[in-house]
Structure 1
């Protein structure tokens, strides 16, 4: 496998994913390769069934490819043991889900804090709480920190999820249709907050979307069709 360069935050090498469906093998990804530079904002677009969400799951180490590999900040993750993979994910990746994935029995503050409590030493818990409150304030929810998910609107829950994704200052943030469950007004607000946090924190951002308005914010757009990247468009700053 070709080694990753220092400038690459993400490297995808000949990534393939197939599943058995009875006697038939279904190819979901068909040999995808690309690099993402540190600090780059990439949108992955494509129709339903194109393979874009499968690709994002493989980037996050949530699934194992049939062949090929994903390298994050120099670490090949695709075939790591689960305990090692969980450790790498905790250090390198913040993930924003379309369906928020908040724990209903935890407050907004506790949901944001959870990755920190799972990955940071006990000596840093006070700093983690301060960081969580700063992030909630940054997404406009400082006064809602003690509210439970059921007491929050969909847009507010997604803003909690954004804060949670950034709590550990991950070098890479992955987002799966982060505005897909929101109306256009709340979706635009969440997208603005995501971009603001991303620029402030200096992370690499890879986002899957079917919405051209969301993809228009990216500096690079990868179009996936039938498990292959059919277009790789880079934009100038003036075009974003």
Structure 2
């Protein structure tokens, strides 16, 4: 589902070139939950941005569901992103003037789909994340945990084959973080979606089928987790 080949990213900093990613190679099969780990500055967020087509690599390639995205023109890239990727941001990225239901429906509108087709699924998704009674509320009327649940529903609205999540519990307290993780994994299982999650938290990563660890722009470990933690029981997630 995801194939990364000799992926490199460098930026100019005055007279110097800073190498952020230094030639990464890995694949993620369909349906796998992979956690990308590493401390701040390891390159994990840069990698996620490249996987999402939000940035262009300096060299190498990224293939999503068989499509090379690294050097597509923006109009073609936007089409691939819309059909292939759901993205869960740490900061939610909800539109403040739209209700929860309207925020979830937004990808439908951006893909020129009619809301008649999207409304039943949007309502079902919001109900599945415990927001059946909050669909008409605006983001300012929702707690942080509720806003993140709206973001989860939005990420899955178009049934994307790939969902990318950037520290999805990072701004939540322990209880809300555990609940959002459980919902994310449940949606991953029921939708059959390939899930790639960036985190610095080893407890959160213990729920993944696979853990890829970065340090200084290199993969230093790529491990299959034989016994992923059970997200249906209470999780002792660390905050932040």
Please classify the TM superposition score into its range, dividing by the shorter chain length: over 0.9
Q: String of CA shifts for 1:54-106, please: whole Å, max 9, x gaps.
A: 00000000000000010000000010000000000000000000000000000
Partner of residue 180, structure 1:
170
Matched, 1:18 2:10: yes
RMSD: 0.8
Unpaired runs of 5+ residues, structure 2, are 230-240
1:140-155 → structure 2 map (5 Å cutoff): 140-155=130-145
**Helix, strand or coil for the counterpart of 1:126?**
helix
What's the offset of the Cα at 1:120?
Answer: 4.4
Q: String of CA shifts for 1:102-153, please: whole Å, max 9, x gaps.
A: 000000000000001111433xx21200000000000000110000000000
Partner of residue 234, structure 2:
none
Partner of residue 236, structure 2:
none
Unpaired runs of 5+ residues, structure 1, are 1-8
Query: When the two structures are aligned, how many residues end up with a matched partner?
Result: 229
**Helix, strand or coil for the counterpart of 1:143?**
coil
1:57-136 → structure 2 map (5 Å cutoff): 57-122=49-114, 125-136=115-126
After TM superposition, the runs of 4+ consecutive aligned structure 1 residues lying more than 6 A away are none
TM-score scaled to structure 1, two decimals? Answer: 0.94
The structure carrying a bigger helix percent of its residues is 1
TM-score scaled to structure 2, two decimals? Answer: 0.94
Matched, 1:217 2:184: no
Change (3 A) 1:239 1:177: closer
Partner of residue 232, structure 2:
none
